[in-house]
């Protein structure tokens, strides 16, 4: 079975703007989350799902696989659902981008 982690990330947080890219020890928050998810022995791959080009650029600098999604999503579940359509796997693990 192929298990994939998908980390939905956006910049438009209403409570804390740009939360996903806040610096934590020299790295944006979502980079920490991605790097830790990559350590999971039960995941075959990890993808970042985002609608923001700034997030994509940062992810590319850190060799993080990205799936671009539409801007219309109301929540992370919708963003992950779209990302799932673009990959082939048996199991999807929803990993929140703000939980490094």
Which pLDDT band, with edges at 50, 70 and 90, does 98 fall under? confident
Looking at residues 61-77, what average pLDDT do you find?
Answer: 95
| pLDDT > 80? residue 13 | no
| pLDDT > 80? residue 14 | no
- Per-residue CA distances from 15 to 23, 33, 62, 85 (Å): 17, 20, 26, 30
Assigned architecture for domain 3-94 = Alpha-Beta Complex (3.90)
Domains of the chain, by residue range, sit at 3-94
Which pLDDT band, with edges at 50, 70 and 90, does 99 fall under? confident
| pLDDT > 90? residue 5 | yes
Residue percentage of the chain with pLDDT more than 70: 100
Q: Please give the pLDDT value at position 12.
A: 80
| pLDDT > 90? residue 16 | no
| pLDDT > 80? residue 31 | yes
| Non-local CB neighbours of 34 within 8 Å, separated by 6+ positions | 7, 46, 48, 59, 62, 64
């Amino acid at each position: 079975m192929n298990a994939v982690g998908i980390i939905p990330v956006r910049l438009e947080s209403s409570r804390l703007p740009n939360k996903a890219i806040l610096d934590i020890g020299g790295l944006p928050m979502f980079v920490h989350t991605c790097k830790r998810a990559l350590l999971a022995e039960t995941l075959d791959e990890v993808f970042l799902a985002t609608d923001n080009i700034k997030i994509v650029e940062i992810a590319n600098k850190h060799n993080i696989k990205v799936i671009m999604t539409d801007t219309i999503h109301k929540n992370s579940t919708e963003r992950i659902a779209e990302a799932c359509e673009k990959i082939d796997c048996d199991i999807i693990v929803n990993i929140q981008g703000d939980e490094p």
